[in-house]
Structure 1
Amino acid sequence: MTRPQLLLVAHGTRNPRGVDMIASLADAVSEKVGPTRVAFVDVLGPSPAEVLRDSSRPTVLVPAFLASGYHVHGDVPQEVAASGHTAVAVTRALGPDPILARVLVQRLEAAGWRPGDAVVLAAAGSSDPRALRDVRDASRMLSSLVRTTVRIAYVATGSPRVPEVVGTLRAQGARRVFIASYLLAPGLFHSRLADAGADGVSAPLGVTDSIVDLVVQRYCVGARLVLAR
């Protein structure tokens, strides 16, 4: 039976570094599972429906999102339905996941964070309560690793915003405050964090061996589902 292809679906960004990062992730995953294509739900194309219409091959769609909000629960199934493709398995999003929490710690340490420093988890934000719940889960995972309370703040949608939380921690006596960027790729949202008043900002999660393995894990679960139909 034909091995399913993998369709990695991301949000989309006008920042070429962000686009390149998603392409690099897809390339790294393809070395382990075979053909991997990329689609975007916003900003740029191709859309998931366009990619799916281009092939009748069984497909595992992995949402490259760190929380499951409207794009995952709304856009993705609508795109699959619009494509008319009948052999698609949609996995759960990449986050939250303990693997991502460990990468966040690595990124924080690279930015200069040390035990005892305050941590703010900066997420893009969403009006979808399911996504906000996922962010809370991510903060708990990170908190268990850094052994301190991790405050949540949002870059674009929702409150409190990142500068507000950083300021509150300063007012409460925190000597050093670090922002853990809960973003997958460089772009407008990550660039805003530099002006939030923290002592350091971690790099986006990006491409690591463990994140590649996480995508592969999602793919393997989806492949079993789509081949069992």
Structure 2
Amino acid sequence: MTDPVLPQHLPAGVTPIVVAHGTRSPVGVATVAAIADLVAQRIGPTRVAFVDVLGPSPTDVLRDLDGPAVVVPAFLASGYHVRVDLPEHIRDVGRENVAVAPALGPDPVIAGVLLARLREAGWRPRDAVVLAAAGSSDPDACADVRRAADMLADLTGGRVDVGYVTTASPSVPEAVAAARGRGARRVVIASYLLAPGLFHTRLAGYGADGVAEPLGADPAIADLVVARLVAAALPAAVH
């Protein structure tokens, strides 16, 4: 059974909103803006909101809108911000005409971009791979990261270990050391991060032979955002 083919547009009058975590890194903020610009090229004007660090918040953006909206969490796992924080923002507005899409990750599209970033970083098929994620105390979010590693392993044809920059274990340095302990001559880190920032900067000091760039403003990521937005908006448009 094949997946249904979705239209590449939103119902009339629906505003798309891309919600990201937020970062103090100007390059990270610019990356989120660039992703939103790519989305806008595909489906029209797109708003951006952040759940932490800087604004506008989802509450701010929704209060500025009169019509219906559809929100996509630009997160790579469904942790606290996706399951608790974002719904609270929407409840605070008291609007019923807001649809919410699932988080971006894990997804095979993201795995494909991760593989491309690995190749750009000099990864070769016999190199060990560590998927580096931000980290979370939420077991479901960590399970999402493990699924992302499995999807990447399907493409690399080899084992992909998980390491976390903060909070969860094993840490990225521990995962790199474990790969070397199994006899890996080269270890390359795949960055399970949407945009550059403090976490990606730290990866360079964790003992790997190469560090891939974050996913970034890749057209495939923009296409995935659009697919999430359209799929979430269609049921709301029926009612």
Superposition TM-score, scaled by structure 1 size: 0.98
- Deviations 1:106-144, CA, capped at 9 Å, x for gaps: 000000000010000000011111111111110100001
CA RMSD of aligned residues (A): 0.9
Q: CA deviation at 1:157?
A: 1.6
1:1-229 paired onto structure 2 within 5 Å: 2-229=12-239
Query: Match of 2:6?
Result: none
Superposition TM-score, scaled by structure 2 size: 0.94
**Equivalent residue letter for 1:113:** W
Q: CA deviation at 1:33?
A: 0.9
Q: CA deviation at 1:228?
A: 2.0
Q: CA deviation at 1:209?
A: 1.3
DSSP 3-state at the match of 1:109: helix
Which runs of structure 1 show a deviation greater than 3 angstroms over 4 or more consecutive aligned residues? none
CA distance, structure 2, for counterparts of residue 40 and residue 226 of structure 1? 23
Q: How many residues align?
A: 229
Runs of at least 5 residues in structure 1 that lack an aligned partner in the other structure: none
Contact 1:60 1:226 in 2 (8 A): no
CA distance, structure 1, for counterparts of residue 128 and residue 12 of structure 2? 50
**Equivalent residue letter for 1:75:** D
Contact 1:190 1:204 in 2 (8 A): yes
Contact 1:61 1:90 in 2 (8 A): yes
Q: CA deviation at 1:167?
A: 1.4
CA distance, structure 1, for counterparts of residue 168 and residue 181 of structure 2? 22
Q: CA deviation at 1:2?
A: 3.2
- Report the identity percentage: 59
Q: CA deviation at 1:219?
A: 1.0
DSSP 3-state at the match of 1:195: coil
**Equivalent residue letter for 1:211:** I
**Equivalent residue letter for 1:186:** P
Contact 1:6 1:35 in 2 (8 A): yes
